[in-house]
Amino acid sequence: MFRIHGAAGRLCDSPSRREFLSVGGLSICGLNLAGWMSRASQGAPGVTGRAAGFGAADSVIFVYLQGAPSHTRVPGRFLGEVLPNLAQQSDHFSLIRSVGCKPPGLPNHGSAIYMLMTGHDPGNFSPTGLAVPPSREDLPSVGAVVGRFHPTTASRFNYAAVCGPTKEAAVVGLGQGAGLLGAAYDPFTNYDDATRPINLDVFALPGDVTLDRLRERIELGRRIDSELGRKGTATTTFDVQYQKALALLQRNEAIQAFRLDEEPERVRARYGMTRFGQGLLLARRLVEAQTRFVQVTWPARSDDEPAAGPDGSWDTHRNNFPMLRDHRCPVFDKGLAGLIGDLHDRGLLERTLVVAIGEFGRSPKIGSATTNNVGPGGRDHWPDCYSCLIAGGGVRPGQVYGESDRFGAYQKLNPVHPYDVLSTIFHAVGIDPETEYHDTLNRPRRLVDHGGPVLGLF
């Protein structure tokens, strides 16, 4: 049974162009269905050219490793013994080793997350770069922009967020929503622990409502909207959102994606029975169901103390190396390698762009520091230079793009800004990064503050 509850309802660094990539520990509110379906507006992107890789991807899986994984200065594609599964998939992905920027204020998580997610300066943050709660005045997230300018069909999800929300201190959902684009483009969220059966009650109709009755309600709403429209009231959202909700219920392939128990045990084991691993498996299933953009967020809060276990934080101000070796890297390695390998084996990788990145890297100096509470064996925040992993969606595999200095501290060759990373995503799905839209005050806005796609990856 399906149930619908409730009513309808240049700024940072030197060069503007940067290249990015990083590998794991080595380098690297949900609305009801009807309300969510109101994110219905369609828009065609402006297209100014057909450079290499433009429109090569049908879908995006954006793997956000909140908390900021460590990176290294090792030349080339050396992964090491802590990432054995990714090493076996290295012919299917590329690395960017020169991502970097200077967030406003202190190098804290909040401002860096907002920049990575939205492609804009967080002008409303505190001078220290601490986050403020999300609002409709925020600039839209990368997933919301993709959903707005390159929507999928009515019976599919445009933008889904799984595994966990972005979290910094007490702020939940930082940079993850649609902001001023409106609720129509917020993600469909499901943060259930996917190692267990996912609760699908949000998709169930109330007990006394059938699909026929829902169709009748939609038709009644359409007539009301039409009548009000003749009287000068511009209201058409009811019909649009419920038609989309009905389409999703009638053709429920997208809903079926959440039934992970349908996967063979050997496939689930390939990803690892962790929240992160099964979140990546869910992302693959959503992409198979033609979801346009899926964000998989590491389940621990960005500024949690590093702790043992599969779900702990990447924010390793203490005990960096044992935490990565014993806890973070095994989960990341198995899960992401499982995703890349599985996408490749199913013939999906060519048309699916996979990006794995944190909000910044970790300091080259190990141990005590005078800022940010760094303890024994820890590494501080480091936005000046870090890494990103990118695969599929037209990206040529086996590359190492960019280079840091010999300490892994600063960009040396082919610098890449986080905004360039987002521009690359837009480019890959066929959205011109130069596209503009108007905000709530009718001011023109670019999709990113500056920068452009990293064409050397394609």
Q: Is the pLDDT of residue 48 over 60?
A: no
Q: Looking at residue 47, what is its pLDDT? A: 44
Which two structure tokens, joined as six digits, stand for 20? 């990015």
On whether residue 20 sits in a domain, the answer given is: no
The full length of the chain comes to: 458
Q: Which of 29-33, 75-79, 267-271 has the lowest mean pLDDT?
A: 29-33
pLDDT at 229: 63
What pLDDT sits at residue 249? 65
In a domain, 16, yes or no: no
Q: Which of 146-150, 203-207, 244-248, 338-342 has the lowest mean pLDDT?
A: 244-248
Give the mean pLDDT of 103-114.
89
Residue 272 lies in a domain: yes
Residue 123: the pLDDT is 84
pLDDT of residue 106: 82
**Which one has a higher pLDDT value, 306 or 232?**
306
Tell me the per-residue pLDDT of 277-289, one tens digit each, with 9 for 90 and over. Answer: 999 999 999 999 9
**Distance in angstroms (rounded) separating the CA atoms of residues 378 and 358:** 17
Kindly state whether residue 430 falls inside one of the protein's structural domains. Answer: yes
Q: Structurally, how many domains does the chain consist of? A: 1
- Contacts of residue 362, defined as CB under 8 A and 6 or more positions apart, other chains included, come to 68, 69, 70, 71, 316, 320, 379, 380, 381, 382, 386
In whole angstroms, what is the distance from residue 95 CA to residue 334 CA? 18
CA distance 15 to 38: 40
pLDDT of 429 higher than 60: yes
**Six-digit token string for 96:** 């960017």
Question: Given a cut of 90, is residue 45 above it in pLDDT?
Answer: no
- What single-letter DSSP state applies at residue 310? T
| Residue 409 predicted with pLDDT over 70 | yes
From the list 364, 445, 326, 365, the residue with the least C-alpha distance to 74 is 364
Query: If residue 155 lies in a helix (H) or strand (E), which one and from where to where?
Result: none
Q: Give the tens place of pLDDT for each residue, 159-218.
A: 999 999 999 989 999 999 999 998 889 999 999 999 999 988 877 766 666 767 766 666
Q: What is the mean pLDDT of the segment spanning 38-53?
A: 52
Neighbouring residues of 367: CB distance < 8 A, sequence distance ≥ 6: 374, 376, 377, 378
pLDDT in tens, 337-379: 999 999 999 999 999 999 999 999 999 988 855 555 788 899 9
pLDDT (mean) for 385-392:
97
Burial label for 147, CB within 10 Å (0-12, 13-18, 19+), is buried
Cα–Cα distance, 225 to 384 (Å, whole number)? 53
In the chain, the percentage of residues whose pLDDT exceeds 70 is 77
Residue 23 lies in a domain: no
Residue 86 has pLDDT above 60, yes or no: yes
**What CATH number is attached to the domain comprising 311?**
3.40.720.10
| Secondary-structure breakdown of the chain: helix, strand, coil percentages, each rounded to the nearest 5 | 30, 15, 55
Q: Is residue 8 part of a domain?
A: no
Residue-level pLDDT at 241:
58
Q: Which of 122-136, 394-408, 427-441 has the lowest mean pLDDT?
A: 122-136
Contact criterion met (CB below 8 Å) for 146 and 60: yes
Q: Which whole-number Å values give the CA distances from 46 to 149, 186, 321, 424, in the listed order?
A: 9, 22, 46, 15
Please, which residues have CB within 8 angstroms of residue 317's CB and are 6 or more apart in sequence? Answer: 305, 306, 372, 373, 374, 375, 378, 379, 380
Least confident of 14-28, 118-132, 149-163, 344-358: 14-28
Helix extents (H) in 274-414: 275-288, 320-323, 329-345
Range ranked top by mean pLDDT from 217-226, 297-306, 388-397: 388-397
Q: How high is the pLDDT of residue 118?
A: 97
* 6 within a domain of the structure (yes/no): no
pLDDT of residue 244: 60
Range of the domain at 379: 33-457
Beta carbons of 353 and 425 less than 8 angstroms apart? yes
> How many CB atoms sit inside 10 A of residue 106's CB?
15
Separate counts of helices (H) and strands (E) for the chain = 12, 16
Q: What is the pLDDT of residue 242?
A: 61
Is the pLDDT at 29 greater than 60, yes or no?
no
Q: What is the pLDDT of residue 291?
A: 97
Compute the mean pLDDT over every residue in the chain, rounded to the nearest whole number: 84
Is residue 450, in this structure, part of any structural domain at all? yes
Look at residue 437 in the predicted model and tell me its pLDDT: 94
CB–CB of 104/125 below 8 Å?
yes
pLDDT of residue 432: 97
User: What per-residue string of b and e applies to 163-201 under the rule 16 or more CB within 10 Å gives b?
Assistant: bbbbbbeebbbbbbbbbbbbebbbbbbbbbebbeebebe
Average pLDDT over residues 61-86: 84
Residues 6+ away with beta carbon under 8 Å from 2: 203, 204, 205, 249, 252, 255
